[in-house]
Chains A and B, each alone.
Chain A
Amino acid sequence: MQYIGYKGNELTYMETPTLIIITLLCATGAYILGRNRASNIAYRAGKKNVLHSLPYYYGVLSALWCVLPCLFIVLAWNLLDDYVVHTAIVKLLPGSVQALPDSEIELMVNTVINNALYPNALIGSNPPDYILQAGQDYLRWQQLSQLSLTVVVLISLGLAFSLGWLWIKPKVHARQQVERVFQWFLLFCASIAVVTTIGIVLSVLFESLRFFQSVNLFDFIFGTHWSPQTALRIDQVGASGAFGAVPLFLGTLLISFIAMLVAVPAGLMSAIYLSEYASPRFRATVKPILEILAGIPSVVYGFFAALTVAPFIRDVGDLLGLDVSSESALAAGLVMGVMIIPYVSSLSDDVIKAVPQSLRDGSLGLGATQSETIKLVVIPAALPGIVSGILLAASRAIGETMIVVMAAGLAAHLTVNPLESVTTITVQIVTLLVGDQEFDSPKTLSAFALGLMLFIVTLILNYVALYVVRHYREEYE
């Protein structure tokens, strides 16, 4: 797989929108013609109910006849086009080049394309003739490909148009057919979530498997030394660097733990106060204000953590004679906790409100105070929901990226001291993947392995949270 190289094949992107616009225009025309034709048939037959469906449905049907095949062709063409042209370029290159390893050939192909598209970009470098030649061919093919696509699309438009025209007969169940297409469209949209999940699993899984070919899974999960940088040196590429992820796991847990320590009491108590004690007016004012905390982007929290909270904690530590790192886990954790407060509070608020008033009445009627009622009846009754809310908040803390990227450290220290600097899974993913990447080195691939771990952990947390809530609802109703 090749990630390097910015490929601005503008030709493709200039032409495709035009084609789509033409297709849509044709579809509009087909709609009008189809509707009129259906109306005419009905008119000639002299009575309206000769048609199975309303004329409007026949119009929509003809339009669909135009749009669907053409969109399919354009999409398929654009997907295959790159591959075909690439293969063709490789065939054009001299045999000596073709004998090179795949990654080198890829690089060569990119050089060809870049030379062809931006002939003046690389002044000074004198590419060999075969590259220039291949570049010329590449441009020609691009144009040819685009031209033939246009022709194919136009022909199929014409074909579909006339087929659709002929298709309009009174006994055709136009409404059912249109509704069926509509339903398929809806189903397609709904399944994008499934496709996304599959995409996530495939993308992290495949790269992780490649990673685990060079690094032992056991070493990765249980190793206590993490320094991917060493693997960058040429003599160590492919050799196992130090990919023991335990310090990252521990760092992630430490920061998330600090965050939960802030967020759970604050979120839970404010939810309790707002739903059990506060007057409706107070609640209506304060709740949206607190929820602003959830709407602030995490990069803002990261800024706050790195430039305000961390120096503050370090200064306080200095005053107390403590040695505090300027990227302490404490700073990142505290700020992350503040960010998570509204998650905990709004999820707990929902479940606390779902506890029936009759239970509160029962307890108050026995003479329990309000806090006793809350602690002994309301909270136990809402506990599964609260637990699931806390799990979801924890999953958010573990997956939170920007705060830790900006405020936590890069070096992997194996420590649970909140005053020291630790690094986290997400920090390492960002560090490993931002900037130039060598996609064959374990260093880069390890980011995907970390991503896989992160995905699995959050998936388990979410699943347990959903299960707890579902189970509890069933029991409760």
Chain B
Amino acid sequence: MNSNSGYNGLFDPMLAPGRTLDFAQQGLSNKTVGNPFSEKAKMSVRNLNVYYDNKQAIHDVSLDIKRNEVMAMIGPSGCGKSTFLRCLNRMNDTLDNCRVEGEVTLDEHNIYDRKQDVVPLRARVGIVFQKPNPFPKSIYENVAYGPKVHGLVSRRAQLDEIVEDSLRKASLWDEVKDRLFSPGTGLSGGQQQRLCIARTIAVSPEVILMDEPCSALDPIATARIEELMAELSQNFTIAIVTHSMQQAARVSNRTAYFHMGRLIEVNDTRRVFTNPEHELTEAYITGRFG
């Protein structure tokens, strides 16, 4: 037993009879297998390193996210997938102890450029969080928040239109159209999360980041959000972090597997789940740790 190896939360050798996963504890290579790069990249990440104080959370990750695709990021907890996602619209800037190195481009423009302002960046790259976080305001105000803040509309009618359109796109309109001015916090968990999605798309971003958007929801609400993602992928580029392999398999076009802060493998989703190239991916897919 490697009780002092430091990785012992990751897997239990007792569950994997006949096969040892020693490589999981040995020095991992920073090289990614599969095809992380693409010609039609909406966002591309090159040599990304992220540190929390002195602890490195992301090791030299490079990856492209294609226009209008759904890119899923999976991996055991603590593998850095959420950290990676939050780097894509610089949400990590809000943490005092976080340091980011490397290059992330959006339409070939480095978002970590000194001159880049986070405000227009986040207007283009929206994010939906793990726990639904509607503002303690009315449903209408929640959705109208982004357009108002960014000054996207000048007339009330336009705003009404955007709110309705966004709620429809988030397939929430029919449920809330009669109570647009009641508090958003009064909705159910699944509705709240769809409200947050509506709030994000009201700004008309180009990319939507989703950080385990269904982990706080029940199966039925999860199913609705997954349907929604399929619809949204027509207009938006989506990057989703999930701890559920089934969800990744259902909603994504491509899947990236993260392990210990490294990007191990990127491939078409079907490929990853049927015939993974890397043995770590395979071990994870087959449920030997996670």
Tell me the A residues contacting B by CB distance below 8 Å: 279-280, 356, 358-369, 372, 376-377, 380-381, 476
Q: Which 4 A-B pairs have the closest CB atoms?
A: A367-B122, A358-B133, A367-B123, A365-B127
Interface presence of B113 (CB below 8 A)? no
Which of B151-190 touch A at CB < 8 Å? none
* Interface pair B122/A364, CB less than 8 Å apart: yes
Query: Measured between C-beta atoms, what is the minimum distance from B45 to chain A in Å?
Result: 19
Q: Which chain B residues lie closer than 8 Å to A363 at the CB level?
A: 135, 145, 149
Bound CA span A270–B136, Å: 24
* A367 engages B149 (CB within 8 Å): yes
Q: Is B199 an interface residue (CB 8 A)?
A: yes
Q: How far is the CB of A351 from chain B (nearest CB, A)?
A: 13
Is B129's beta carbon under 8 Å from chain A?
yes
Q: Are B129 and A358 in contact, CB atoms less than 8 angstroms apart?
A: yes
Q: Per a CB cutoff under 8 Å, which of B120, B129, B150 touches A365?
A: B129
Chain A residues whose CB sits within 8 angstroms of the CB of B129 once the complex forms: 358, 361-362, 365
**Contact assessment for B145 and A280 in the assembled complex, using a CB-CB cutoff below 8 Å:** no
CA distance A362 to B193 in the complex (A): 12
New contact pairs (10) apart from A367-B119, A367-B203, CB-CB < 8 Å: A280-B96, A361-B91, A362-B129, A365-B127, A365-B129, A365-B200, A367-B146, A380-B136, A381-B135, A381-B136
In the complex, the answer to whether B118 meets A377 with C-beta atoms within 8 Å is no
A280: which B residues are within 8 A, CB to CB? 96
A366-B122 in contact (CB<8A): yes
Measured between beta carbons, the chain B residues less than 8 angstroms from A381 are: 135-136
Chain B contact residue count (CB 8 A cutoff): 27
Q: Closest approach, in angstroms, between the C-beta of B47 and any C-beta of chain A?
A: 25
Q: Which residues of B contact A369 (CB under 8 A)?
A: 119
Which residues from 191 to 221 on chain B have a C-beta closer than 8 Å to any C-beta of chain A? 196, 199-200, 203
Most buried by A among B96, B149, B150: B149
Partner of B91 from the list A356, A364, A372 (CB cut-off 8 Å) is: A364
Which residue in chain B gives the minimum CB-CB distance to A373? Answer: B149
Set B127, B149, B199, B200: member contacting A372, Cβ < 8 A: B149
Distance in Å from the Cβ of B281 to the closest Cβ of chain A? 30
Q: Kindly identify which residue among A279, A362, A367, A476 contacts B135, using a CB–CB cutoff of 8 Å.
A: A362
The CA of A358 and the CA of B135, in the complex, are separated in Å by 9
Contact B123 A359 (CB under 8 A): no
**For B121, what are the chain A residues with a Cβ–Cβ distance below 8 Å?**
367
Determine whether B126 belongs to the interface, using a CB cutoff of 8 Å to chain A: yes
Pick the residue among B96, B118, B149 that contacts A279 (CB under 8 A): B96
CB <8 Å contact, B94 and A360: yes
Asked if B224 lies at the interface with its beta carbon under 8 angstroms from chain A, I say no
Q: Does B46 count as interface, using CB distance less than 8 angstroms?
A: no
